[in-house]
Chain A
Amino acid sequence: MNDQRLRLDLADLAGEVDPVDLRDRTLRASRRLGIQRAVASSAAALVLIGAATGAAFVIRPDATGPAPLPANTPSITVAPTPTGSPSGPAPTVSPGTSGSPGDPTVKVLTGTLYYLGRTSKDAVVHAVQGGADRTVARIPLGGEPCVGNSITVSPDGQRLAWVEDADTAGFGALMTAAIDGTRKRKLATKVGCLGSRALVWMGSDRLMVRQDDGASVLMNAVTGRPVDGDRGEETDPCWSADGRFLAAMDESGPFVSGPGSRRPYHYDPPSEDADKYDGWSVRSVSMDGRYVAVGWKGTDPSRRDDSHAVVEVATSRVKTLPVNGEVKNIFFTSDELVLIRRAGRIVVLDARFEVLDEVAEARGTRGLALLAYAP
């Protein structure tokens, strides 16, 4: 026997595959690819332009302009509004001028949005507050996809976590750092970086990771040690921003559990899209545990959130959202807002899903993955 036998057996094995017609799926995938490339090209061009002209997170045409940036900002972009200036004093809170003046009922987007961008060498964490887009951290990609695929920001915007130095199976060292990339620590080894949600925050101190033996482990990001307790049998965990409510799946199906409660629910995704993905999972949980935002599980590591619907857990009904067009992200914040991202804009809803405002995303962050919102 020789190599020829291997050739024959490979051919025999290859014959197991069932022939299918991929024409329609291919054309759909091509359309999605075209859209993604257009978005990426626009973002890349705008990042270059942004170095000189800045990127605005313009609240409204009549807004008073972006807030000044903190003095220790590593890099600054100047908002192209008549009043915007990166210089001057360093308040840390946006003036929050998106609402109608004098209307006390209007909540504004005063917190910081964290996005993930990339260069050929670094994962770049953008922070957008009050209209100003600044780079807060650059984490070297190290020539591997793991860092970019796993990097995440804690719900309070204070910590970064990622996996680096991964082996060919996608398991490497779990790292944490302050939001500016300093105080880097290695917390664990043999941690998985695959999937669009490799690292999941439980509140801002704990991090659920997956080990190479398949087990999920909850790590305390402060002490750097695993948290004792039942690992549970659930999959696809996602916590509310404060870590009180957990949405996950187990053998009985999807559920949301919180202090003294456990509610099962069901969700049937649109069948016309379902065959393009690996299923769905919860992407965000409301602070009261009543609602979950659900998104597709992608088949590549693009970090696309793909959340597209809100399910009311008690009734399993899909909530009608007061927005038009394709939804790209749905995000429940710890200050009880609902952020709906679509076509370069963010619609801000209150906890009753009523529109408070609609804001344009900073140009340099359109198309980037939204990692967190910290009030």
Chain B
Amino acid sequence: MDSLTEFDSFVRTRTPALLRSAYLLTGDQHLAEDLVQSALARTHRSWNRLHRTGNAEAYTRKTMYHLQVSWWRRRRVPESMPGDLPEPRGGGSVSDHAQQTSLRLTLKSALLKLSPKQRAVLVLRFFEDRTEAETADLLGVTVGTVKSQTARSLAKLRAVAPELAELYVLEGSTR
């Protein structure tokens, strides 16, 4: 397989997973696509080296998080979101589709009220299930910063969406 074919294969197999993380980071399909595209483009620039060392995906993810945290994106995501959070759910079974949809909207809106860095920490810790050390490495910050940002993120989630606090015991986890 030549280099371009290998890169094509990498893009097509890894894009879905990258998009899922990017969607949580941005809250928007198009912004998520932009973010993943930008990270993949940088990976492409270094493809020969990354492919040899087998670090392509780690590099792409790290780039994606750095871009998201450092970019001051022209179109702020919160501006495209509804001004108010959805009404709290009435409680009940998790299997209830309507309730699950409502919860998803609540969580999405709440996430978008966090700063990009806080969102990145939450996504890395609770979606990608990274350790504090891995999260620190990916974001280029200290473990202490990850701990404090995680605590602040969870506190802010509790503040902006109290109904989520009822669902989650949002005390963070330490690994």
Q: Which residue of A lies closest to B115 (CB)?
A: A168
| CA gap between A298 and B38 in the complex, in Å | 12
The answer to whether B15 and A19 touch across the interface, beta carbons within 8 angstroms, is: yes
Residue B21 lies at the interface, judged by CB distance under 8 Å to chain A: yes
**Chain B min CB distance to A273 (Å):** 15
The answer to whether A17 and B40 touch across the interface, beta carbons within 8 angstroms, is: no
Which A residues touch B75, using CB under 8 A? 278
Within 8 A of A (CB), among B1-46: 8, 11-12, 15-16, 19-24, 29, 32-34, 36-38, 40-42, 44-45
Which A residues touch B33, using CB under 8 A? 20, 22, 25
Which B residues touch A12, using CB under 8 A? 100, 104
Contact residue range for chain B? Answer: 35 or more
Q: Contacts A22-B36, A298-B74 known; A17 to B8 CB distance under 8 Å?
A: no
Residue A2 lies at the interface, judged by CB distance under 8 Å to chain B: yes
Q: A10's contact among B22, B74, B107, by CB below 8 Å, is which?
A: B107
Residue A193 lies at the interface, judged by CB distance under 8 Å to chain B: yes
Q: A169's contact among B12, B36, B76, B169, by CB below 8 Å, is which?
A: B76
**Chain A min CB distance to B63 (Å):** 11
**Chain B min CB distance to A211 (Å):** 13
Residue A145 lies at the interface, judged by CB distance under 8 Å to chain B: yes
| CA gap between A193 and B74 in the complex, in Å | 9
A34-66, CB under 8 A of B: which get 1 and which 0? 100100000000000000000000000000000
Which B residues touch A297, using CB under 8 A? 74
B139-171, CB under 8 A of A: which get 1 and which 0? 000000000000000000000000000011111
Residue B79 lies at the interface, judged by CB distance under 8 Å to chain A: yes
The answer to whether B74 and A30 touch across the interface, beta carbons within 8 angstroms, is: no
Which A residues touch B51, using CB under 8 A? none
Number of interface residues of A (CB under 8 A): 47
The answer to whether A30 and B44 touch across the interface, beta carbons within 8 angstroms, is: yes
A275-301, CB under 8 A of B: which get 1 and which 0? 000100000000000000000011111
Q: A5's contact among B12, B111, B167, by CB below 8 Å, is which?
A: B167
Which B residues touch A32, using CB under 8 A? 41
**Chain B min CB distance to A276 (Å):** 9
Residue B66 lies at the interface, judged by CB distance under 8 Å to chain A: no
The answer to whether A30 and B126 touch across the interface, beta carbons within 8 angstroms, is: no
Q: Which residue of B lies closest to A23 (CB)?
A: B11
The answer to whether B100 and A17 touch across the interface, beta carbons within 8 angstroms, is: no
The answer to whether A278 and B24 touch across the interface, beta carbons within 8 angstroms, is: no
The answer to whether B123 and A21 touch across the interface, beta carbons within 8 angstroms, is: no
The answer to whether A1 and B116 touch across the interface, beta carbons within 8 angstroms, is: no
Q: Contacts A17-B20, A170-B76 known; A22 to B29 CB distance under 8 Å?
A: no
The answer to whether B15 and A10 touch across the interface, beta carbons within 8 angstroms, is: no
Q: B127's contact among A11, A193, A194, A195, by CB below 8 Å, is which?
A: A11
Residue A222 lies at the interface, judged by CB distance under 8 Å to chain B: no
B86-117, CB under 8 A of A: which get 1 and which 0? 00000000000000100110011001000111
Residue B137 lies at the interface, judged by CB distance under 8 Å to chain A: no
Q: Which residue of A lies closest to B111 (CB)?
A: A13
**B residues neighboring A (CB under 8 Å):** 8, 11-12, 15-16, 19-24, 29, 32-34, 36-38, 40-42, 44-45, 70-76, 78-79, 100, 103-104, 107-108, 111, 115-117, 122-123, 126-127, 129, 167-173
**A residues neighboring B (CB under 8 Å):** 1-3, 5-7, 9-23, 25-27, 29-30, 32-34, 37, 145-146, 149, 168-170, 193-196, 214, 278, 297-301
CB<8 Å pairs between A and B, sample of 8? A17-B29, A17-B32, A19-B19, A33-B42, A37-B45, A193-B72, A278-B74, A298-B74
Closest 7 CB pairs of A and B: A29-B41, A17-B23, A14-B20, A30-B44, A168-B115, A30-B41, A195-B74
